[in-house]
Chains A and B, each alone.
Chain A
């Protein structure tokens, strides 16, 4: 049974390491196009998003990727941090939100490290939704972020 245990452990661990290695190719270099609900994804005229992008692109040391959703001059930003920084994910989130609010001179910015928000914004990127549906999603996301009990 001892040998069997060793084989089991080794195979499980190597499976996990394999998955881990595969994922690393995904870390985006932050040339993400922010999604602006009003004007469609091609036209990044939302200057808020542009400014936010400029700021966030400099945070490569702990930010592994992010997604921006803009609607009526409000921003929702979903961030993903590097693996080992995940212990301090929430502090990073709060710090970023404060910094963005100061630099962009608006209070209508919400940053979330919650993966659900990231997933939902990624779904919107498929562009199969109408504008009204996207706006509904926006308000739903805001509600989800508040619900964090």
Chain B
């Protein structure tokens, strides 16, 4: 019995263990880089025509990208792009935006409070949790070190 279980396990790992890593990385690199280039163009647009400095231009840039993500997600194109690009769309803010927006759209039929509100943060929740908490801890440590240093 054990032998068949073992050979089954080997069969499973052999068949499922081969994502084409190099190809995935190339796709992620190109798509991710491309999204950042679009972001850079948006940044220059906001810096030139509005009163945003280099420091503050990240805000409208990111918001605009998420707006485009909403359109792509709503009209159904995002999923195909995401499947092709993997981390190329997941790592930029577009991935975060899509996770929130697609969950919101999907669960609307369950009502806005329970469906949309209750499900929007399935993925986003961990990002916000660890982002906020790690920033808190790090800032605390750095501030205490600064106070001691003085």
B26 close to A9 (CB less than 8 A): yes
Tell whether A54 is near chain B: CB-to-CB under 8 Å.
no
Number of A-B residue pairs with CB-CB distance less than 8 Å in the complex they form: 39
B53 close to A147 (CB less than 8 A): yes
User: Looking at chain B's contact residues, is the secondary structure mostly helix, strand, loop, or mixed?
Assistant: helix
Tell whether A126 is near chain B: CB-to-CB under 8 Å.
no
Identify B23's interface contact among A5, A117, A140, A144, CB under 8 A: A5
Among residues of A, the one whose C-beta sits closest to the C-beta of B53 is: A116
B53 close to A5 (CB less than 8 A): no
* Most chain B Cβ neighbours within 10 Å, of A12, A116, A144: A116
Q: Which size class do B's interface residues fall under?
A: 10 to 19
Among residues of A, the one whose C-beta sits closest to the C-beta of B33 is: A12
Identify B54's interface contact among A2, A5, A114, CB under 8 A: A114
Q: How many residues of A contact B (CB 8 A)?
A: 17
Return 15 A-B CB contacts under 8 Å, by A number.
Answer: A9-B26, A9-B29, A12-B33, A12-B34, A114-B54, A115-B54, A116-B47, A116-B53, A116-B54, A116-B57, A119-B47, A144-B53, A145-B53, A147-B56, A149-B56
Chain B residues with CB under 8 Å of chain A are: 23, 26-27, 29-30, 33-34, 37, 47-48, 51-57
